[in-house]
Chains A and B, each alone.
Chain A
Amino acid sequence: MDKKDRMDKKDRMDKKDLKSINKSETNDLNSGEAGYWRSFKELYNDPAFKKTLKNEFSPEALQKPDTKNMSAVTRRRFLALMGASAAFAAAGCSNYQDKGVIYPYNQKPEEVILGLPNYYASTCSGCTSACGILVKTREGRPIKINGNPDQPVNKGKICSKGQASIMNLYSPERLKEPMMNKAQLNWGDVTKNVNAVLTSAASSGKEIAIVTHSILSPTLKKLLDEFKLTFATAKVYSYEVFNNSTRVNAWQKTYGKRSMPVIQLDKAKIILALESDFLGNDHNMIEYTRMFVQNRDVMTNNEFNRLYAVEGAVTNTGMNADYRLRLRTDAIEELVMCLLNELAGKKKLSSFAMDSRVTSVFSSNDLKQFAVKYKLDENVLNNLVDDLAKNQGSSIVMGGDKLSESTHIAINLLNEVIGAAKLYSIETENTELVPLSTPQDMDNLVSDMSTGKVGAVIHFDTNPVYNLSPEYKYEESVKKVPVIITLAEQVSETTEISNYVLPIHSQLECWNDFKTRTGFYSMQQPIIAPLYNTRQKEAILLSWKDNKEATETTYKDYLIANWEKVIYPAMGSAVSFKKFWNSALHDGVVYVNEKPEAAGSSYSIEAFVSAPKIKASNDFTVLLQNNNNVGDGRFAFNGWLQELPNPITKIVWDNYASLSVQSASELGVQSNDTIDITIGSRKQTFPVFIQPGMADKTIEISLGYGRTVAGVIGTGIGVNANVLIAKNPSLSDRFYNNAHVSQAGGKYELVSTQEHHPIDSDPLLKDIQFRRGIIRQGTVDEYKKNPKFLRDDEGDIDLQPINTPPPYRNPGFSGFKWGMAIDLNKCTGCEACIISCNVENNIPIVGKDQVYANREMMWLRIDRYYYGTPDAPSANFQPMLCQHCDYAPCENVCPVAATTHSDDGINGMAYNRCVGTRYCANNCPYKVRRFNYFDYRDRVADGVQYAEPMDLMANPEVTVRSRGVMEKCTFCVQRIMKERQDAIAEHRDVIGANVKTACQEACPAYAIEFGNVNDKESNIAKYREHLLGYGALEELKVLPNVTYMAKLRNIYEPLPYGNKEHEKNNNNTEENKKNEEH
């Protein structure tokens, strides 16, 4: 190319940029990819975003380091230089041939074979779900946590937090020694001192308060009861930030019992989710996801369920819904009344319709007027009413955790009217061992503490100083208690003010039993010996009760005794206890013959009639959300979770106030501005994020951020939203409709990955005709009429590969060829796969500043494409990973052949050969390659990822990459090699289905399939040949080996941006092209 050509090209580029700026004035919706858009910047054709589409790196990524503010030799650098010179000096004297030392075991445990993993069943105690887990260990070190397939609720799957909790075990910031007033002491003295404190408190009639989270263990419950016998003044208080209280209380009022039935969502044809995120962060997400996607399976049946979502916030559930209506949350109760009026009042669907006391409550609620008032789509509401009426007995209304008690009471009636009781399991129900403390209990505790009636307070692995509503004034009051004892894994706001800070085991070092439902117990057993001088929290209580120092077996012995004497005899088992106990630990779950209590199962009309009714206000509504990152703040130490993008906003390392477009413009704020939110006397300042799809005058904020004492990773991340929680909320503790919002005038930079690695599909840029989108979808009706609808346009495309395929040794990929299929009908965007991949493949955290520079290292990302209008968008989630293209464009450009193709179709990456030219990333159309700009383990938070014992967490089967090399998804080649090894050892052929990639293993929706595509009998081959299967950017003819199954929406009308529309777009772009030529 000569100089003139280059000039010309530059000229053309400039013109193009001008064009895109002009185009932005037209503001057309069909800008991005066939009407799909990822952010407002894309929707409105922001020239800066257009540029990022064309460029390999964002401007942030190209920033120069600020050398002026750096000292010439940092402390770390100095130490590194000292170390290096010492190493050189030592190397000069020693034998260069020396290859180090091998230390074999002295006595090898029988079950350990070096190089092979062992698996142990246990239970995750990260939240109230108590999912069964199966922990993979190598040479005694736990390296990966997966779900336990034998556990009947989570059936082998766990959420992102459970996956990432392995980092909690190895966190270098765990508390390691017992401390009294910041001075170290030994456990013997702890037992002696505390026992004396407790005894004197009990004898002088002062209360001993134990503050705990939900009590899920029957043995712990027994222990607490015995503790109360020993110390007569002991009282137990339990709280949970993400609680189920309003729902359970409503159930108690309407049905007379607190144990709620299990919902068989797999039998539901119509599901109405009211502010319910049952596919995201509400209770029981894993089981609901599994049941929900069973009726979204294009391989087994074409009878899809239909999901309606009505919500104020934007949740995974809403984005996966077939119909989504945005409605401020305090109007949801009115909607329920309108639906009751339609179904019971007008259609007279159930016997309740005859009761004038009931009908008079909602007879004035008119659905039509309601729709007009809140600008809801009337057609959708009519469809909803018809569907609910037609599918009696197979439809259900799911109310969210945050809704008020009165709304849940109304929802219970609506469920009665539509016959949802048929979906309640008769086999099993949720149990509640000990109800949570009421706000009144907690208030009494605090006032007792401030008036000196409490002699000692024991924080049983809780952080009430941070978690509780500021209205309790907990911190002020607790300081008046003479002895504050905190049992904790890591430092917290509560350990700061405690006299005794006692380190406890992580969940992988504990013994316990859990009971969340009738019919079975989940067992917890230690997977590793305690890493530090810690004790199990239950054992510490036991040691005080018995005034005997806790040892490693204290609680284990207590647990076994309880089982041997109480639980096992009641089961009437035929096997001996020892055998029974071993098999219980082996399976991780014990089935017992129990049935739900029959008492009180008819709906109490009284409860419905007497329940107070919510009146929608004109103020702002605030929703305090759970999230898949830090939970209630207990995972703030976990860098993997802090860096996991929010499924919807894709923001990392922060929380923020999500606002609708309209509300933001009314307030006069943009994203990254700050606002003050005032609810009563409680006030906090938050950064703003404008989130398409939020209901107007509704704000959504994640809890669990803004920790002030949470180690080097968690401290000062985000803003503390707990301060907005009221002591006695009128609606529910995470939902308020009386907030006042004003501009705060500040700026705060939020970092989102949503515009990172955008896929360049702008037809203007390519010579090839773009006929196919990255996301393809249709409706169920369309698919039934014409199963080939996706492939209608096939045949008339003349595909030309964008690059010359290299001369492969096995060009046809005969024999073995690995491939993946991802069913977009099932993927809910929960991101469990991302964390699973991080853990399996030793992926480091990079920190907020590096994510800002587009340098996140996650091999797997979930792209979220909106479509529709900014007010009412829908979204598609698409997991994007290396596609292992047959004609991989990255391979041609590597100057050192570090990335090459294997005979079985894997695009391999040899790190030790890579010299870091980054040409491959430049040439990858999917933007899935990640470059190590730094040694991130060393760089983030002063090298916390290199601190001991974090190195024990690494998967020994995968290289830990250092600075300067490129990396990307390997299709979990280490697992493929393990299958190959097993096959050779067993003298059989490799079976593709035996290999489960880390993402596939984790997916709660079973959306990922992996295997040998040449095995025509296998699932993966069937997916690849399915009529809904397509490859992303197929028109490039790089022949990707990840097949996506087009998403089918179960809606009545054609999609606004379906394939027809796409055709039209292409015509538009052709016209554009012509215009450009002129």
Chain B
Amino acid sequence: MKKFLLDYGIKVRLPIILFVAAASFALTYYITYAERTGIGYQPEQPIAYSHKLHAGDMGIDCQYCHVGVEKSRVASVPSVNVCMGCHSVARKDQPEIQKLTKYYNENKPIPWKRIHRVPDFVYFNHSVHVNKGIVCQDCHGQVQAMDTVINNKYKTTGQVNSFTMGACLDCHRNSHEKFPNLPNLNKGPENCSACHR
């Protein structure tokens, strides 16, 4: 009788326990390793647009294109006619610009690959942060220095910081240490309804 129980333990329970432990470890590792939060994500874009060239070298203000950032929850990706404001004249001979012109003439939106994304249940608000004096680079990194990555010109801007709830709260709790240049900055709200509704 006892022998049988032991047998059962070795033959059935032990492998199950080991399997569950291994599976949980693998799953936890897979879910939590750094790349999961998207840092370093640089997808291939339909047009090889360079932030370094526009925002860095030429010094165009971020808000020239991302018009919603001061007024609205979303910064908004510029519509094609904003690009064409310059490119109907400038650099019309470049192949990438010709692609852009094609989109414009066909009246089609450009399918930009999304880089930064918070889940649907998070209502992050750009204008609140920008109007408090927090600059784009604080979250998005030195976008004006981001250029084509070696070997693949279609990969341009990438994600630098993690956009997890921990990252949000890190600033909201330690605003003064994080932003010593903004002495009038209040602590960010920490209640659920500030972001979730």
Contacts and interface: CB of A to CB of B under 8 A. Distances in A.
Contact of B119 (A107, A912, A913, A981): A912
B112 interface: yes
Interface in A963-996: 970, 973-974, 977, 980-981, 984-985, 987
A957 interface: yes
B164 interface: no
A504 B64 CA distance: 42
A104 B78 contact: yes
Nearest to B44: A95
Given A104-B77, A912-B121, A985 B110 contact: no
Interface stretch (B19-27, B51-59, B141-149, B189-197): B189-197
B49 to A, nearest CB: 12
Interface stretch (B8-16, B86-94, B124-132): B124-132
B114 A985 contact: no
A104 B65 CA distance: 12
A115 B109 contact: no
A104 B110 contact: yes
Contact of A958 (B72, B113, B197): B197
Contacts of A957: 123, 197
B179 interface: no
A1068 interface: no
Contacts of B194: 902, 977
B76 A115 contact: yes
Contacts of B154: none
Contact of A99 (B38, B81, B193): B38
A981 B127 contact: yes
A114 B196 contact: no
A987 B130 CA distance: 12
Contact of B79 (A98, A108, A913): A108
B117 A100 contact: yes
Interface string A906-932: 101111110000000000000000000
A910 B115 CA distance: 25
A1075 interface: no
Contacts of B110: 103-104
B interface, by DSSP: helix, strand, loop or mixed? loop
A106 B78 CA distance: 9
Which of A98, A113, A913, A958 has its CB near the most chain B CB atoms (within 10 A)? Answer: A113
A941 to B, nearest CB: 25
A108 B74 contact: no
Nearest to A95: B43
B29 interface: no
Given A116-B72, A977-B123, A101 B79 contact: no
Given A909-B192, A959-B197, A101 B71 contact: no
A104 B79 contact: yes
A102 B70 CA distance: 20
Given A105-B79, A114-B68, A981-B125, A903 B107 contact: no
Nearest to B78: A104
Given A105-B109, A957-B197, A959-B121, A99 B68 contact: no
Nearest to A809: B190
A973 B193 contact: yes
A531 to B, nearest CB: 20
A515 interface: no
Contacts of B70: 985
Contacts of B192: 898, 900, 902, 908-910, 913
B14 to A, nearest CB: 30
Nearest to B40: A97
Interface in A290-337: none
Given A106-B81, A984-B128, A985-B70, A901 B111 contact: no
Nearest to B113: A101
B35 interface: yes
B139 to A, nearest CB: 16
A115 B123 CA distance: 11
Interface string A80-105: 00000000000000010111111111
A815 to B, nearest CB: 10
Contacts of A113: 67-68, 71-72, 76
A558 to B, nearest CB: 30
Nearest to A97: B41
A729 to B, nearest CB: 53
A984 B103 CA distance: 37
Contact of A107 (B74, B80, B123): B80
A99 B194 CA distance: 24
A958 B72 CA distance: 16
B108 interface: yes
A954 B115 CA distance: 25
Contacts of A901: 191
Nearest to A899: B192
Nearest to A908: B193
Contacts of B178: none
A958 B120 CA distance: 10
Contact of B115 (A99, A105, A904, A913): A99
A809 B132 CA distance: 23
A101 B113 CA distance: 5
B73 interface: yes
Interface string A497-513: 00000000000000000
Contacts of A106: 79-81, 103-104, 107-109
Given A104-B77, A106-B79, A970 B109 contact: no
A987 B131 CA distance: 8
Nearest to A903: B191
A108 B81 contact: yes
Interface in A773-814: 809
Contacts of B132: 984
B91 to A, nearest CB: 20
Contacts of A981: 73, 125, 127-128
A104 B197 contact: no
Nearest to B191: A902
Contact of A911 (B74, B190, B196): B196
Contact of A984 (B43, B107, B113, B131): B131
Given A902-B193, A912-B119, A101 B114 contact: yes
Nearest to B82: A108
A977 B109 contact: no
Interface string A986-1012: 010000000000000000000000000
Contacts of B43: 95, 97-99
Interface in B161-191: 189-191
A101 B70 CA distance: 23
B5 to A, nearest CB: 33
A115 B117 contact: no
A974 B132 CA distance: 20
A103 B72 contact: no
A304 B112 CA distance: 63
B31 to A, nearest CB: 11
A101 B108 CA distance: 14
Given A108-B79, A113-B72, A102 B112 contact: yes
B187 to A, nearest CB: 10
Contacts of A906: 191, 193
A542 B107 CA distance: 33
Contacts of B115: 99
A23 B131 CA distance: 65
B127 A985 contact: yes
Q: Give the top 7 A-B pairs by smallest Cβ distance, nearest first.
A: A902-B191, A115-B72, A908-B193, A105-B79, A108-B79, A103-B109, A115-B73
Interface of A: 95, 97-108, 113-116, 809, 898, 900-904, 906, 908-913, 957-959, 970, 973-974, 977, 980-981, 984-985, 987
Given A102-B114, A104-B76, A108-B82, 11 more contacts: A103-B109, A104-B77, A104-B80, A106-B108, A113-B76, A116-B68, A902-B189, A902-B192, A957-B197, A977-B125, A980-B128
14 contacts: A97-B35, A101-B113, A102-B77, A104-B79, A104-B109, A104-B110, A105-B80, A105-B109, A114-B72, A115-B74, A900-B192, A902-B191, A902-B193, A981-B127
